[in-house]
Structure 1
Amino acid sequence: MSKRWSLALASALITLSVAACGSPGQPGAPAGEGTAAASGGASGGPLKVGLVYSKSGPLATYGAQYRQGLTAGIDYATKGTGAVGGRTITITEADDAGDPAKAVASATDLIGQGNTIIAGSTSSGVALQVAPLAKDNKVLFISGPAAADAVTGANKYTFRSGRQTYQDVATAGSMLGDVKGKKVTVLAQDSAFGKANVAAVTAVLGAKGATVDSVEVPAAATDLTPFATKVKTAAPDLLFVAWAGANATAMWTTLGQQGVFDQTKVVTGLDIKPTHALFGEVGTKINFLSHFFEGATDNSAYQALDKGLKAQGSTVDLFTNDGFVAGQMIVHALEAGGDVDSMVSALEGWSFEGPKGQLTIRPEDHALLQPMFTASLKKDGSNVVPQLVDTLSPEAVAPPVSPFK
Structure 2
Amino acid sequence: MKKLLPIVLALAPLFAAAQDLKVALIAGKTGILEPYAKETETGFMMGLEYLTGGKMEINGRKLKVIVKDDQSKPDLGRAMLAEAYGDDKVDIAVGTSSSGSAIAMLPVAAEYKKVLVVEPAVADAITAEKWNRYVFRTARSSMQDGLAAATTLKSGSVGFLAQDYAFGKDAIKAGKEALAATGSKAKVVAEEYAPQNATDFTAPAQRLFDALKDKPQPRVLAIVWAGPNPLNKIADMKPERYGIALAPGGNILPVLKTWKAYAGTEGTIYYYYDFPKNNMNDWLVAEHMKRFKAPPDMFTAGGFTAASAVVTALQKAGGGNTDKLIAAMEGMEFDTPKGRMNFRKEDHQAMQPMYHFRIKKDQKNEWDLLELVREIPASELPLPIKNKR
**TM-score, normalized by length of structure 1?**
0.80
| 2:241 partner amino acid | Q
Distance 1:397 1:254, change over 3 A: same
* 1:147 pairs with one of 122, 125, 146: 122
* 1:159 pairs with one of 136, 139, 148: 136
Secondary structure class of the residue paired with 2:71: coil
Pair 1:172 & 2:155 matched: no
* 2:303 pairs with one of 323, 337, 347: 323
Equivalent residue for 2:3? none
Contact 2:252-2:297 at 8 Å conserved across structures: yes
Distance 1:200 1:338, change over 3 A: closer
* 1:395 pairs with one of 376, 379, 382: 379
| 1:286 partner amino acid | T
Distance 1:124 1:324 in 2: 19
| 2:57 partner amino acid | A
Q: Offset of 1:228 from its aligned partner?
A: 3.0
Q: Aligned ranges for residues 88-99 of structure 1 at < 5 Å?
A: 88-99=62-73
Distance 1:44 1:246 in 2: 46
Of 143-152 and 299-308, deviating more is 299-308
Q: Aligned ranges for residues 177-196 of structure 1 at < 5 Å?
A: 179=154, 182-188=155-161, 191-192=164-165, 195-196=169-170
* 1:132 pairs with one of 86, 107, 127: 107
Q: Offset of 1:357 from its aligned partner?
A: 1.3
The Cα RMSD (Å) is 2.6
Higher relative contact order (Cα pairs below 8 Å, separated by 6+ residues)? 1
Q: Offset of 1:306 from its aligned partner?
A: 2.1
Equivalent residue for 2:11? none
Q: Aligned ranges for residues 92-131 of structure 1 at < 5 Å?
A: 92-112=66-86, 113-131=88-106
Structure 2 residue ranges without an equivalent (≥5): 1-15
Contact 2:229-2:255 at 8 Å conserved across structures: no
Pair 1:299 & 2:278 matched: yes
Pair 1:50 & 2:24 matched: yes
Distance 1:83 1:271 in 2: 33
Contact 1:155-1:404 at 8 Å conserved across structures: no
Distance 1:311 1:364 in 2: 40
Q: Aligned ranges for residues 5-404 of structure 1 at < 5 Å?
A: 44-112=18-86, 113-153=88-128, 154-176=131-153, 179=154, 182-188=155-161, 191-192=164-165, 195-207=169-181, 208=183, 210=185, 211-216=187-192, 220-222=200-202, 227-228=208-209, 230-237=211-218, 239-242=220-223, 244=225, 248-258=231-241, 260=243, 266-279=246-259, 281=261, 283-310=262-289, 312-313=291-292, 315-335=295-315, 336=317, 337-378=319-360, 379-380=362-363, 383=366, 385-403=369-387
| C-alpha distance after superposition, 1:112-162 (max 9, x if no partner) | 121121112111111111111111211010010100112125111111111
**TM-score, normalized by length of structure 2?**
0.83
Contact 1:215-1:231 at 8 Å conserved across structures: no
Contact 2:308-2:335 at 8 Å conserved across structures: no
Aligned-pair identity (%)? 26
Contact 1:290-1:375 at 8 Å conserved across structures: yes
Structure 1 residue ranges without an equivalent (≥5): 1-41
Count of residue correspondences: 356
Contact 1:249-1:279 at 8 Å conserved across structures: yes
Distance 2:163 2:135 in 1: 32
Q: Offset of 1:253 from its aligned partner?
A: 3.1
Secondary structure class of the residue paired with 1:162: coil
Distance 2:89 2:74 in 1: 21
Q: Offset of 1:206 from its aligned partner?
A: 3.5
Secondary structure class of the residue paired with 2:140: coil
Distance 1:217 1:147 in 2: 18
Distance 2:37 2:214 in 1: 40
